[in-house]
Amino acid sequence: MYLFFDTETGGLQPNHSLLSVSAIAVDPQLQIVPVLNMYPGLHLRVKHENYVVTEQAMQINKIDLAVHDQIGLTVSETIEKLQMFFDEARVIMGVQRLIPAGHNVAFDMRFLQAQLFPEKQWDTFFKNPPLCTCAIARFFNAANRLTVGCGLEKLCTHFGIDAGDAHNAE
């Protein structure tokens, strides 16, 4: 029912290169659903003929583009793999369209729609509104039910979740 996304990018604008995309399918009880025998989900590195990146973004995501190129998929290969993942997730969960989800998922969706799936095609796989954990945290902060803001690392700490090496895409 839900497809959680995360991307790593070469900058903050959708004209910067999409470098990686991860997707995990979960059911209405938020339990991970293996898709295409992948557990917990799919992780793809996207290689481009010409990268559009900022120095700041590359310092944050720690991606070495030379290594990235050796193991990355072309844009068309990435689209094909993601489409197979989306289709299989919809079949397994018995839904026509999935609900996109994630932390600040609108950011990830902008890149995916700009570089892989134009909005009309996106709408064949997904329905709105997306489930954004950042927006939910903002709501609970405004209602004085949470006092840590909506930053991923702070939320993970608050809820006792290991954030791992956040923003390290290596």
> pLDDT by residue (tens digit) across 50-61?
999 999 999 999
47: left (phi over 0), alpha (psi -120 to 50) or beta: beta
pLDDT at 170: 46
pLDDT at 35: 96
> pLDDT by residue (tens digit) across 104-163?
999 999 999 999 999 899 999 999 899 999 999 999 999 999 999 888 888 888 888 887
pLDDT at 105: 95
Which pTM was predicted?
Answer: 0.89
Q: What is the distance of C-alpha 170 from the center of its chain?
A: 15
Cβ atoms within 10 Å of 63's Cβ, excluding its own? 24
Spatial separation of the C-alpha atoms in residues 111 and 78, rounded to whole Å: 13
Spatial separation of the C-alpha atoms in residues 61 and 111, rounded to whole Å: 16
> pLDDT by residue (tens digit) across 6-39?
999 999 999 999 999 999 999 999 999 999 999 9
Report residue 164's pLDDT band, with 50, 70 and 90 as the boundaries: confident
